Amino acid sequence: MAFIGFAAACGPIVDPAPFAVRPGRARAGDLLGPFDGLIIDGETDRPIAEATVEANWAFERGIGLIGPDGANSLSMVTTEDGFYRFPALKELPAGVSSRVRRFTLIVYKRGFEIWRSDRVFPSGETRRNFTQHANRIRLRRWQSGTSHARHVVFMGGGEAVRKAAEWETQAAGIELGGDRDPWAAVGDFGGPGKRPLFDASIVLTDSELRQVTGFAGKLVRKRLADLPRTEFYDTVHFRAESDGERDDVAVRVWRLGEAAAADQYQELVTALGTAEVRDEVGDNSVRVSTTDIRALVFILRDVGVVVSVTCGKGQCAEIEPLVRLAKLIEGRAAELESAPVGEKK
Amino acid sequence: MKRSFLVGGMGLFLSLSLLAPRRINAYEPATTQAGLLQQGALGSRLHQVLINAFGRSLGLFEPLVLDKKNASTDALLLWQRLILLDPAQGYRPGSRGDQSALGWLSAGAVLAETPAEEGRHHYFLPTTGRGLDDRKGVSGAAQALSGAIDSGEGRTGVRSLGTGMAFDQTGMPSTAWLFSGQNDLSVTRFVYWVSKSATLATPAQRDSALARALLCAGATAAVLIDAGEPAHVRNDFRAAHESNALNYERYVAERHGREGLPASLKPVSRPSLLAFITAPDGEGLADRTHRRFFSEGSVPADVPLSPAQSTIEILERAGEGLAFPLPNLPRLSIANDNRVKYLKMEGRRALAYKRLPNRLHFFLDEAVFKDTAKAVLPEIEAYVAGMLNHLIRVQLQLTISNGQVSVGAKGLTGPISGGQLELVWEDENGQRHAMGEAIAVADSDAVAAVHVAVPAAASRVVAVLRGQDHAGPIAAVGQASTEKM
């Protein structure tokens, strides 16, 4: 027992740091810190403000079989000078076989690629230029065509980084779902949690619809049930009591941001297969016609919105009313971009 | 007095020696295990299934909250393990219990070895069907000592050793661990939580259940990943001092981390869940890894050399030093040129050896680690992708007609043992309600014969099928909206 007391008093092991103490120095740094550095734009060399910086220490335990044993995380947001500073780790893990195993610094700023102190995006290669002090982080601008899914998976990070990058998970989810059928009837297995939901109810009113199509029958305004409403997707369904789907009109709206909207639009066009490219509404658009229904899908690239309008041939015997409805919605681009979120589900 | 000082000092030295950083040959859970799982998940159909069958519009990126407020005791214990994880790797849930579906899955792979002693059940020796047995090993002594002196909440300690809870250097075969009642992240629990993720009343409850199902799937995949780690399929519990030369697992952790692992190959398809690990056709991952790769503790014993020995005699002696029949040593170059040479298999360097003045020395070096990683890591990911696909292989299709719902099941292989079909309906507020008792079903025809009246207030009907067929446990979900355009 005396030995146990002695051993316990020794404190945790701190693994050797895989980074240097300062740029140009061979001496290894200290995993415990403190850490400081500067974050700059890789193109302009100017300091970057409002970048989220997260410092993470990971602890492990065990001799032979090794497993996680806790962590400590600090975060900050840079000001105009682009500097970050984190104090040395004070709260060390208890237990004789406990050790401080890793330190990872993560920097996230929307519009730039993620920066991690251990790996380089997108190659995944080991980073060699991280230093404990006077570290200089050159953030690379986001490259068109970079995979959001790959970026989000690479990123990792705790609460601060995840919150800053929350918007990107939407783009990642859509990007990865390349082979899903957007028209397939899918269900809701509990909904999207407690995030604020996108409200697209402003796209079209009953009276506007009647003015365009001349429909005089009774309409019930609802939401479609084919895909669950989310913080980036909403629908409006004008359900006619008269003749089933032939008199129905439905609008589906995705508010995704520029890159993800482009992906979603392409995905829809691909899924539609026989779509006729007309580019008559928004930045690009396609038409589709089936036995009972006409559809028009368009994208507003600047505001990152994709809209699909379907109209039963009872109301849209010709294509013109559908095009007019779509243009009416296009005129609401600014409102859609800043559309309110609805109640939390 | 002097003697007692010497004895005590020697004891202290030995004890401290055992306490120096040592690590058994195992993939690092926090980085390698999680990264292999993530690549496998990205290569699987799970994203599409989460969208289409589970209605999670962001698939693998869907946020799910583990409800801590109304959590049961086991969920709170689970939470205590979750907060031990490294936030930098992206799978530790936030303070609200929130994490993406992929994050929960990855966390499961790490929790499978949190606490670390759980890793003892990740061994499988294909030649005997047994798990870990290192009761006489030196590394085992270090492990026991570690368990005895560590203290703190949820850890093994002197007391747990006394009560028999601590690690005795043995473990059940990984194939048994997958279904063990002692495993709170087992395949059995996966089936249970998938079912609950569909049938529980509130969205929050269903979120929590799906998070737990994904944890179980991740932990199941972690067991499979270890079947792609040579030491785990060659009963090699050797622990190396970390100050010693690089070993394979450390090479993989340092070279690839979590983020730098190769992309998955095409998902592997196997006839049953266990066949992903081992099967009579020898194509389980444990079977393949066992016969194709050496681990550091199972390289051939060094062969003493004497001037009178012929090359054939040396080869025979080397063969006798093999721990297992495969991989064998079909040919070696025994020229006395003081160079490191390699035994090549499948075009890769599988074993290094060097002729020393008085012996032929076998070992693994960085060149072998590099080739091993290049060969086995994408293969592991392909097996993980395949296993995830296998767990969700059965699809349910619901049809609502004339006020009644009927169910079709695709992907079943033969009769269903213990099959139960549950139907629930969802109201406009997202609350779900049972549509009668669970129905016993013995095959796909029995599933198709089910017709149940749909309540007028239902906006959605959801079906869950549980049971087991020839391919293993079934956890299938399907749903249909009562209206659509």
**What does the pLDDT profile of chain A (345 residues) look like in tens digits?**
333 444 444 567 899 999 999 999 999 999 999 999 999 999 999 999 999 999 999 999 877 778 899 999 999 999 999 999 999 999 888 877 788 999 999 999 999 999 999 999 999 999 999 999 999 999 999 887 888 999 999 999 999 999 999 888 888 888 886 444 322 322 222 233 334 678 888 888 888 888 888 888 888 888 887 777 777 888 999 988 776 678 899 999 988 877 778 878 888 888 777 788 988 999 999 998 888 889 999 998 888 889 999 999 888 988 999 999 998 898 877 777 766 554 333
Q: What is the DSSP letter of A180?
A: -
* Predicted pLDDT at A339: 64
Q: Per the CB < 8 Å rule, is A170 touching B485?
A: no
Q: What pLDDT is attached to residue B168?
A: 63
Could you tell me the CATH superfamily of domain B394-481? SOR catalytic domain (2.60.40.730)
d(CA A39, CA A134): 10
Which amino acid is present at B474? I
What residues does B345 pair with on adjacent strands? B348
Chain CA centroid to CA B179, Å: 13
Task: Tell me which residue in B26, B51, B114 faces A180 most closely, judged by beta carbons.
Answer: B51
Question: Confidence class of residue B338 from pLDDT cuts 50, 70 and 90?
Answer: confident
- Tokens representing A157? 């990070």
Total Cβ atoms within 10 A of residue B58: 26
DSSP β-ladder status, A276-277 and A249-255: unpaired
Backbone angles phi, psi at A230, to 5 degrees: -135, -175
pLDDT band for position B380 (cuts 50, 70, 90):
very high
- Lowest-confidence pick of A87-91, A107-111, B191-195, B336-340: B336-340
B295-327 per-position pLDDT tens digit: 988 999 999 988 888 888 888 898 898 989 999
Here the tokens at position B461 are 């009907």
Same fold flag, A2-175 and A179-344: no
Residue B451: its pLDDT value, please? 94
Nearest to B206 among A190, A248, A250 (CB): A190
In the predicted model, is pLDDT for residue B252 greater than 90? yes
CB contact B315 to A (< 8 Å): no
| CATH topology for the A2-175 domain | Immunoglobulin-like (2.60.40)
pTM, rounded to two decimals: 0.77
Contacting A residues, span 114-173, partner chain B, CB-CB under 8 Å: 116, 118-119, 121, 123-126, 149, 152-159, 162, 169-170, 172-173
CB contact under 8 A, B197 and A64: no
- Alpha-carbon distance B27 to B242, whole Å? 14
Report angle CA B320, B321, B322 to the nearest 5 degrees: 95
Interatomic CA distance for residues A9 and B1, integer angstroms? 26
- Kindly state whether B405 is in contact with chain A, defined as any CB-CB distance less than 8 angstroms: no
Shortest Cα–Cα distance, B40 to chain A (Å): 12
Average pLDDT, chain B: 86
Taking the C-alpha atoms of residue B86 and residue A104, their distance in angstroms, rounded to an integer, is 10
Q: Are B209 and B216 in contact (CB under 8 A)?
A: no
- How is chain B split into domains, by residue range? 28-133+170-250, 300-363, 394-481
- Distance in angstroms (rounded) separating the CA atoms of residues B206 and B439: 21
| Range of A217-221, A314-318, B236-240, B403-407 with top mean pLDDT | B403-407
Is the ipTM higher than 0.90? The answer is no
Span B167-178, average pLDDT: 86
Which residues are CB-contacts of B188 (< 8 A; sequence separation ≥ 6)? B179, B181, B473
Architecture of domain A179-344: 3-Layer(aba) Sandwich (3.40)
Which position has the token pair 């390289």? B299
**B 273-312 near A (Cβ less than 8 A):** none
Give pLDDT, residue A89. 95
All structural domains of chain A with their residue ranges: 2-175, 179-344
Long-range interactions of B269-273: CB distance < 8 A, separation 24+? B269/B386, B269/B389, B269/B390, B270/B386, B270/B387, B270/B390, B271/B413, B271/B470, B271/B471, B272/B470, B272/B471, B272/B472, B273/B178, B273/B187, B273/B387, B273/B390, B273/B391, B273/B471, B273/B472, B273/B473
| Positive or negative torsion for Cα B429, B434, B435, B440 | positive
Residue among A260, A262, A197, A196 at smallest CA distance from A229: A197
- One-letter amino acid for residue B51 of the chain: I
| Nearest Cα residue to B225 out of B23, B38, B89 | B38
Q: What is the pLDDT of residue B297?
A: 87
CA distance B16 to B7: 14
**Radius of gyration for chain B, computed over Cα atoms and rounded to the nearest angstrom:** 26
φ/ψ (deg, to 5) at B446 = -65, -35
Q: B253 is written with which tokens?
A: 């952790």
Q: What pLDDT, on a 0 to 100 scale, did the predictor assign at position A61? A: 85
pLDDT in tens, B59-101: 999 999 998 877 788 888 899 999 999 999 999 999 999 999 9
